[in-house]
Structure 1
Amino acid sequence: MSSLPWFSDNKFPLYLAPMAGVTDVVFRSICKELGADVMVTEFVSAEGIIRQDDRTRKYTEFTDGQRPCGVQLFGGDGERMGEAAKKIIDWKQPDFIDINFGCPVNKVVAKNGGSSLLKCCDSLASVASGVAKAVGDQVPVTAKIRIGWDEKNINAPEVCRILQEEGMQAISIHGRTRAQGYRGEANWDVIDACAREVSVPVVGNGDICSGEDVKLRRETTAVSGVMIGRAAMQNPWVFREAKHYLTTGEHPEPVAVTERWKMIIRHCSMAMESDRYGNERQTIMAMRSRLMTYCKGFPGAKPLRQRLCTVSSLQEVKDVAAEYLQELCEA
């Protein structure tokens, strides 16, 4: 049985998936307010932690209001990963340490991190064991994987057995292979098979966009929770909407465009206050891709996104919002 209390009493937690460059401390705060149950930081390099690199350390920051929150590590050396995990626990005492065995990005895979370890179960076991032994009973250790390297090498059930044996107390599974990246559909049959293979909680990830999706996976698979990633980027209200649907069986009223704009402006303001990206210009420029994602599906989204890709101040964002809402009223 897992020592992670958010799985107790038949709870079915909704995780915010860790996404590099997206799930920073500000966005996690927003999603927590809107109903996300469990947070995981953006992944951080074990080597960066050991070198006490200030930029790397920033990625481990979270607020007490975001708990339960885990810090996600990547790397290919179990001993070094364990050392990094201990440093993080000394700094911040997260609710758990999560090991990234799923990232498909080339620069991570090239360093024998992320999903590259799915190709070598001995190395994967060594990393999992190294972290679990180093951490001991200070905090639980969990892992995130993909279903395999490619369609010919779908080995998630075997990987889950190994991870359980090496002390992982929960496993999150993205239902695509490394070769797929984010294309095609997530394979929930494999996720379900993994959940039935091990006794620790399995959290399913992939194509969860609504309360209906959450209900379907809760009722038709053996997972103990779900993880929502890309859908939350466009619609952080998805957590609140899903809980409403699970409770009432009804979809809530869609979030009004005016409320969405208030959130967009608030997100920009919070990002500036966080000092994560630098000065106002640097922050708003870093936020451009996020702003364009928020506006997917808006009426007249294409010209709107073209305007947002050039903003460099908070006032410009406010001006775009005001002009857009005025145009919408007049249409």
Structure 2
Amino acid sequence: MRIGPHALPNRLFVAPMAGVTDRPFRQLCKRLGAGYAVSEMVTSRADLRDSLKTSRRLNHDGEVAPIAVQIAGTDAEMMAEATRYNIDRGAQIIDINMGCPAKKVCNKWAGSALMQDETLALDIVAAVVEAAAPHGVPVTLKMRTGWCNEQKNAVAIALGAEARGVAMVTVHGRTREQGYKGEAEYATIAAVKAALRIPVCANGDITSPQKARAVLDATGADALMIGRAAQGRPWIFREIAHYLDTGEIAAPPPTLQVRDWLIEHLHDHYSLYGERAGVRTARKHIGWAVHGLPGGQDFRARMNLIEHTAEQAQAVHAFLGALADVHPSWPQTAATADTEEQAA
């Protein structure tokens, strides 16, 4: 699997998710089997680049290549300038956000709202590709099947993007109108794949190794992008890879191994966010990890009262250590974590 000049280890990708796929989480997923990960959405607005939030999203210190940055905006020249700005700061792939369904994004005609204006959408694609080309940086596009069920124009936009030089297209199998409700459909993704020569990545409701195989079969896609199913279970990439290679379900990881992964992730997280923000932003990652575990709900309630990173990490270490005494292998939980965080 390649994106432009970049050869990837496999075809299992981490979806860009606002408030989730920061550098520590991307690194964790890559260590646990993901072949590629895209950053959180970064605004194209120059006046917001100096904010602490944006600076953290642009932090690529020690990140495993290729470094992919997703940008969002509604003005072609601003998006071109954001492309150059991010390339100067280490981006090796630029991804255009045309898939985010969040109201605060769509109300500004960014994200999936761009799919309502194909001319503007493709003008933005052309401007970004032109800005990235002198640097040899490929551009990818992430979008939905359309704005609503009556306006599914993913094939038309994908063809236009390919003609303007995009290296890969990712399609989430829902319209913007659906948000994350209902079930993803894969017929539109299959139609996009049939129409294009460039790689196509399928996204949406890939929650298990068996579902991964089914989506590949249904769409003919070149790659799979996993988002919410990786929250609290970042080793899902390793599980899917094993199943695709062997047809067998991998044994669950040892509980102590999961504990070590989570503790390592927490310390990396704290190093990026600092003491005050780190302890608070880590709570969602811990909550996803313990969701559905025996005693997980009570632990989460206690953990949310902890105000210091060292105490938080110690509490996680102790809880998962005690869990390992009863469950040497990671328990199979009934459902993935519920979350308001959305994939872009």
TM exceeds 0.5? Answer: yes
Match of 1:295 among 286, 290, 298: 290
Distance (whole Å) between structure 2 residues aligned to residue 204 and residue 84 of structure 1: 26
The answer as to whether partners of 2:255 and 2:323 remain within 8 angstroms in 1 is no
Paired position in structure 1 for 2:281: 286
Distance (whole Å) between structure 2 residues aligned to residue 292 and residue 2 of structure 1: 35
Asked if residue 319 in structure 1 is aligned to residue 315 in structure 2, the reply is yes
Q: How does 1:145-156 map to 2 (within 5 A)?
A: 145-156=143-154
Distance (whole Å) between structure 1 residues aligned to residue 200 and residue 7 of structure 2: 10
Match of 2:50 among 53, 65, 68: 53
Counterpart of 2:172 in 1: which secondary structure? strand
Gap change, CA 1:59 and 1:327, over 3 Å in 2: closer
Which structure has more relative contact order (CA 8 Å, sep 6+)? It is 2
> How many residues are paired up?
324
Gap change, CA 1:111 and 1:264, over 3 Å in 2: same
Distance (whole Å) between structure 2 residues aligned to residue 64 and residue 199 of structure 1: 33
The answer as to whether partners of 2:3 and 2:168 remain within 8 angstroms in 1 is no
The answer as to whether partners of 2:186 and 2:218 remain within 8 angstroms in 1 is no
Match of 1:132 among 129, 132, 136: 129
The answer as to whether partners of 2:106 and 2:112 remain within 8 angstroms in 1 is yes
Asked if residue 306 in structure 1 is aligned to residue 324 in structure 2, the reply is no
Q: How does 1:1-331 map to 2 (within 5 A)?
A: 4-5=4-5, 13-48=11-46, 52-55=49-52, 56-63=54-61, 65-92=63-90, 94-138=91-135, 139-274=137-272, 277-278=273-274, 280-313=275-308, 314-323=310-319, 325-326=321-322, 329=325
Counterpart of 1:226 in 2: which secondary structure? strand
How big is each residue's C-alpha offset from its partner over 1:62-114, in whole Å with a ceiling of 9 and x where there is no partner?
Answer: 2454212211100000111001101111221x221110001111111122210
Gap change, CA 1:177 and 1:64, over 3 Å in 2: same
Distance (whole Å) between structure 1 residues aligned to residue 76 and residue 276 of structure 2: 40
Cα offset for 1:211? 2.2
The answer as to whether partners of 2:256 and 2:324 remain within 8 angstroms in 1 is no
The runs of at least 4 consecutive aligned structure 1 residues that moved more than 4 Å come to: 5-8, 327-331
Amino acid at match of 2:282: M
The answer as to whether partners of 2:200 and 2:221 remain within 8 angstroms in 1 is yes
Gap change, CA 1:161 and 1:2, over 3 Å in 2: farther
Name the stretch that deviates more: 313-322 or 198-207. Answer: 313-322
Gap change, CA 1:324 and 1:226, over 3 Å in 2: closer
Unaligned runs of 5+ in 1: none
Cα offset for 1:214? 2.2
Gap change, CA 1:65 and 1:281, over 3 Å in 2: closer
Amino acid at match of 2:281: A
How big is each residue's C-alpha offset from its partner over 1:86-144, in whole Å with a ceiling of 9 and x where there is no partner?
Answer: 1111221x221110001111111122210110111111011111111222242111110
Counterpart of 1:23 in 2: which secondary structure? coil
Gap change, CA 1:262 and 1:2, over 3 Å in 2: closer
Gap change, CA 1:37 and 1:330, over 3 Å in 2: closer
Cα offset for 1:256? 3.0
Task: Using the aligned pairs only, state the percent identity.
Answer: 35
Gap change, CA 1:122 and 1:2, over 3 Å in 2: farther
Counterpart of 1:203 in 2: which secondary structure? strand
Distance (whole Å) between structure 1 residues aligned to residue 326 and residue 64 of structure 2: 41
Cα offset for 1:268? 1.6
Distance (whole Å) between structure 2 residues aligned to residue 68 and residue 318 of structure 1: 33
Amino acid at match of 2:43: S
Cα offset for 1:230? 0.6
How big is each residue's C-alpha offset from its partner over 1:276-330, in whole Å with a ceiling of 9 and x where there is no partner?
Answer: x23x233111111221111122123322222222222232442354256437747
Name the stretch that deviates more: 188-197 or 258-267. Answer: 258-267
Cα offset for 1:270? 1.3
Amino acid at match of 1:289: K
Amino acid at match of 1:111: K
CA RMSD of aligned residues (A): 2.3
Distance (whole Å) between structure 2 residues aligned to residue 208 and residue 231 of structure 1: 7
The answer as to whether partners of 1:172 and 1:205 remain within 8 angstroms in 2 is yes
Distance (whole Å) between structure 2 residues aligned to residue 116 and residue 180 of structure 1: 13
Amino acid at match of 2:200: V
Amino acid at match of 2:45: E
Cα offset for 1:210? 2.3
